[in-house]
Amino acid sequence: MQVRLTPEELGAGLGERATLVQFSTSFCQPCRATRRTLAEVAAMVEGVAHVEVDAEANLALVRRLAVERMPTVLVLDAGGWVVRRAAGQPRRVDVIAALGDAL
């Protein structure tokens, strides 16, 4: 199933080349580490944005995307199309590799 997300749905602009979307909750411990990892990768790669979505405040989007575990990370291409998806705390090297599908 191909899914496209818009800036309006995310509450933030898309990256020029790719966007790392993180679904989190306030009580999720691995989400904090994931936030740091994704922010570091976005800062390293030009044109990549990191957007964090509060799952509790965006239940309609969580349901539409069938997000079941926190954190869930989506990699979007420049047009907002989901090209990769992973649940759980990612390693920096895996995030960088996943970006390859979007760039």
What does 36-80 look like in DSSP terms, one character per residue? HHHHHHHHHSTTEEEEEEEGGG-HHHHHHTT--SSSEEEEEETTS
Mean pLDDT of 13-42: 96
Confidence grade of residue 94 (pLDDT, cut at 50, 70, 90): very high
The pLDDT-based confidence of 1 (bands split at 50, 70, 90) is: low
Q: What does the pLDDT read at residue 103?
A: 85
The whole-chain average pLDDT of the chain stands at 95
Q: Which residues contact 68 (CB under 8 A, 6 or more apart)?
A: 87
Could you tell me the pLDDT band of residue 99, with boundaries at 50, 70 and 90?
very high
Task: Over range 21-35, report the average pLDDT.
Answer: 95
pTM confidence score? 0.95
